[in-house]
Amino acid sequence: MIILLSIIGLIACTAVLFPQVRQMIMNLEEQISHRDIFSYQSWFEALLPYAMGGICFILLFDYCTLTNSGRTLVQKVKQEINECFSEIDFRSFVKPMLLMFGVYLLGILTIIRANFTYEDDLRRSVDGYRGWHDWSRYVSDFSSIFVHGDTNITDISPLPQLLAILIMAISSVLLVYIVSNKKITTVRLLASIPLGLSPYFLECLSYKFDAPYMAFSTLASIFPFLFITRKKAFLFVSVISLLIMCMTYQAASGIYLVILILLCFRNWNKREKSYKELLSFLGIAVFAFCFAMLLFRFFLMKPHFDDKASSAMFPLPHIINGMLSNIKNYALVINHDLGMIWKIGIVLVLFFFIIQSTSQSAQKKLLSFFVSIPIIVISFIASYGIYFLLTAPFYGPRALFGFGVFLAVLCIYVVSDYKKIAIVAVLALNWCLFVFAFSYGNALADQARYAEFRITILLYDLSALYPNADNENISIQLKNTIDYAPSIKNIAKHYPIIEQLVPERLGELKDAWKGWWNIYYFEVYFNNGFTLNGLEGYYRTDYNSLNLPVVLDSYYHTIQSDGNHILITLKH
């Protein structure tokens, strides 16, 4: 049966890969069915990567099931996985997991209370649109069916966010278990707070639909390190877990690398492994990462291009200069986003990391000192993952949450077996992050109230000017935005990232994916009485050039119109 299914699968994949075989099958189908078969050339071309991946999977599956060496390999991997699981006392994880769940729940309490429909959450709630497969996030797309209990998803918040913090609580416990050499303490757990409450991951937790899958990508990146004592199990689990990560949220691609670098440094610095063992571990992990990324890139990933980001990679001659440019931009964005208090706390954590690495080193002290500094730099760079290789990477907060993992790993390392002053510095930094989460949730609520106030006034004025909009062909173009509520401007003085986290909700948005609030306000509230100019990413006709007469000028906005075209200038 396996052989028969394999032959059928190989024929199907071959039919996609080779036009001659595909045409022969289509001609045979025409003769049997006595009807014309239309050409599906573009459809077959879209399936090419999946067909190649299918052939590789079938051959690998046949090797593992039909050959003695393959079956032996499978048994060894299965045995090593069972051995690793048997060495872990999962019951000892329960109380730490509950502690971190409580910490994360308290941290996002104001976010849940704000009930803020975040960016493309609106489209999902209005249309029931999943669409994660468009971004190659197949695991997210499939998992959402079970989370929402239907293929047509609806707003079931805060359940997805609660599920997300549960996953992050498990991730925190596993991260402490791995980084601290299987020693879990309350201080180390609290040191892991940046994992789930960094200002960058707060955006992930703001999504009512995406949050659990973003969290799961973090767990998938941490999970393989439970198997580092068994080479074959570690390799197998790493590849599978990294593929799952890529198919949930690719921004987590740096987490695996950050943990790998810090573990290798710890093993070298404390001489926990010989050089041969260390190189073997590093080689297996790097191979697993590269292999998983290549599998995803060539067999699973859908190319994506828009005005916000691109999945295209630098050509080989330009890859060094491109990476250096992306590293510079990454550092500049983070430097701009973070408040001064956070920067001071991070500098202290880095200082104590270097001091601890030097003082507790089993290597020469001076050597350990000079190695610890590039380890910090390399880990920081790795926290952005494969995005460094892209020609136009995304720098939105949710794409940078690898930096929070970088901080969490360093904080856990610093509080492990060190002086109280270092513990105080780490916990003080994490307390600031914890408090900011409250400010952020309240800022979302303030912005929602402010946006609803502004749009209510605008819609009232439009309804008075155009009482029969449903029967008229009227198009609207927005200029400027409503800006932020005063409380958000106050927060931004010390925490600039708040303006990246809180959407303005109404304004001049030219890219279609961010225009859903404009659509909702104008086309839904007016029962499709208005259409929006510029929603597709460009203006068919820029209404600023029409010199439209002013029909209303108020404290909040100016409306210009000739009866068919409306230009609304929003005032700050």
Per-residue pLDDT tens digits for 448-466: 999 989 989 998 998 888 8
The CB-side HSE value for 265 (13 A sphere, CA atoms) comes to 30
Report d(CA 213, CA 160) in Å as an integer. 9
Q: How far apart are CA 178 and CA 331, in angstroms?
A: 27
pLDDT of residue 73: 83
Residue 107: pLDDT band with limits 50, 70, 90? very high
Look at residue 204 in the predicted model and tell me its pLDDT.
Answer: 95
Where does the pLDDT of residue 522 fall: very low under 50, low under 70, confident under 90, or very high at 90 and above? Answer: confident
Q: Which residue has the tokens 């069915």?
A: 33
Across 172-176, 186-190, 305-309, least confident range: 305-309
3-state DSSP call for residue 89?
Answer: coil
Q: Look at residue 58 and tell me whether its pLDDT is greater than 90.
A: no
Q: Torsion angle, CA of 263/267/273/275, rounded to 10 degrees?
A: 90
Kindly report which listed range (121-125, 200-204, 434-438) carries the lowest average pLDDT score. 121-125
Residue 28: both structure tokens together: 């045979």
At 199 the pLDDT is 95
Alpha carbon distances (Å) from 48 to 19, 244, 303, 510: 11, 21, 13, 33
Of the candidate ranges 9-13, 39-43, 173-177, 363-367, the one whose mean pLDDT is the lowest = 39-43
The per-residue pLDDT for 512 is 44
pLDDT at 72: 86
Of 126-140, 210-224, 247-261, the one with minimum mean pLDDT is 126-140
What pLDDT, in 10s, does the model give residues 59-85? 777 677 778 887 888 899 899 999 999
Distance CA 219, CA 213 (A): 10
- The proportion of the chain whose per-residue pLDDT surpasses 70, expressed as a percent, equals 84
**Hey, which bits of 427-556 come out as E strands?**
474-479, 530-532, 550-553
Task: Pick 170 or 55 by higher pLDDT.
Answer: 170
Percent of the chain with pLDDT over 90: 57
- Are the C-beta atoms of 107 and 404 separated by less than 8 Å? no
What is the pLDDT confidence band of residue 39, given thresholds at 50, 70 and 90? very low
User: Which pairs count as long-range contacts for 295-299, CB under 8 Å and 24+ apart, including other chains?
Assistant: 295/53, 295/239, 295/243, 296/136, 296/242, 296/243, 296/246, 296/247, 298/49, 298/52, 298/53, 299/49, 299/50, 299/52, 299/53, 299/56
Least confident of 57-66, 136-145, 415-424, 469-478: 57-66
pLDDT of residue 40: 47
Of 140, 221, 207, nearest to 405 by C-alpha is 221
Residue whose entry in the numeric block shows the structure tokens 């790493």 = 238
Round the average pLDDT of the chain to a whole number and report it. 86
Range with lowest mean pLDDT among 41-45, 77-81, 147-151, 259-263: 41-45
Task: Report whether pLDDT(44) > 60.
Answer: no
Q: What is the pLDDT of residue 5?
A: 67
Angle at which helices 199-206 and 402-415 pack, to 10 degrees?
130
**For 392-441, how does the pLDDT look when each residue is reduced to its tens digit (9 = 90+)?**
898 999 999 999 999 999 999 999 877 788 999 999 999 999 999 999 99
Contact criterion met (CB below 8 Å) for 14 and 21: yes
Average pLDDT of span 376-380: 96
Q: pLDDT by residue (tens digit) across 226-265?
A: 999 999 999 999 999 999 999 999 999 999 999 999 999 9
Residue 202 has pLDDT above 90, yes or no: yes
Give the type of residue at 57.
Answer: F
CA pseudo-torsion sign 119, 139, 147, 170:
negative
Q: How far apart are CA 231 and CA 173, in angstroms?
A: 23
H or E, element range at 568:
strand 565-570
